[in-house]
Amino acid sequence: MSTLKQLKICIVTLVLTLLSNVAQAQITNDISHNEAFKALLAAKKNAEESNVLVNIAVVDAGANLKAFVRMDESYLGSIDVAIKKAKTARYFNIDTGKLGELTQPGGIIYNIELTNQGLVSFPGGIPIKNKDGKIIGAIGVSGGTIEQDRAIAIAGAKSIID
C-alpha cells in the first residue's frame, strides 16, 4: 500500500473516531397504542358522521403499523392504500396531497411513488404530532373522495392534541 493511501485511510479513521466520540442517543417520541386507538376512533366517528366508508391505518414514529380498521362495506383495495398513505406521510413528514403536487409529470420528484415499495401521493395521509409539535406517527385514510379522506385523517390526527 502506498504511503499516500495509508495516510488517507489514517485521516478517514481519525475523522470517524472523532465523530464517534461525540456519539449520543436520540430521545424520540412515539405514538402509544392507546393514542393510535384514539386517532382511529376519532377518524371513524368523523367518517360515520359524513356517511363515508373508509379504511384507517395508524403507523408509529418508525413507520410501522400500529392500528388499523376497515369499516364494513368499504373498499378492499383501500386496505393497502390507507396503510401506504400513513407510511408515506411519516416517511416524508408530509400531507400526502402536498407530495402529489411534486410528483406529476414534469414535477421535481416525478415517479417517487415507485420507491419504498410503493408510495401514495394523493390526499388522505397526515402526520400525527404531539402537543409539542413533534411527529409521533401518521394516519392514512382511504375509501371516500380524496377531500373526504383528507378531512377524516385530519380529524384523527387532531384528536391527539385536543
Can residue 127 be called a binding residue for a copy of itself (CB under 8 A)?
no
Using CA atoms, how far apart are residues 54 and 51, in angstroms rounded to an integer? 10
Can residue 30 be called a binding residue for a copy of itself (CB under 8 A)?
yes
Judged by beta carbon, residue 81 or residue 157, the one nearer a copy of itself is 81
Can residue 158 be called a binding residue for a copy of itself (CB under 8 A)?
no
> β-strands 125-129, 65-70: how paired?
unpaired
Can residue 1 be called a binding residue for a copy of itself (CB under 8 A)?
no
In angstroms, what is the minimal distance from the CB of 85 to a copy of itself? 9
Cβ neighbours of residue 104 closer than 8 Å, sequence gap 6 or more: 110
Can residue 36 be called a binding residue for a copy of itself (CB under 8 A)?
yes
Can residue 51 be called a binding residue for a copy of itself (CB under 8 A)?
no
| C-alpha dihedral sign at 139, 149, 143, 119 | negative
Q: Which of 115, 104, 96 minimizes the C-alpha distance to 157?
A: 96
- Residues 134/82/108/104 CA torsion (nearest 10 deg): -150
The three three-digit cell numbers of residue 123, written as one number: 390526499
Q: How many CA atoms lie within 13 A of 53 on its CB side?
A: 10
Can residue 31 be called a binding residue for a copy of itself (CB under 8 A)?
yes
Contact positions with a copy of itself (CB under 8 A) in 52-81: 60-73, 75-81
In angstroms, what is the minimal distance from the CB of 52 to a copy of itself? 14
In angstroms, what is the minimal distance from the CB of 123 to a copy of itself? 8
Contact positions with a copy of itself (CB under 8 A) in 90-109: 90-93, 100, 103-106, 108-109
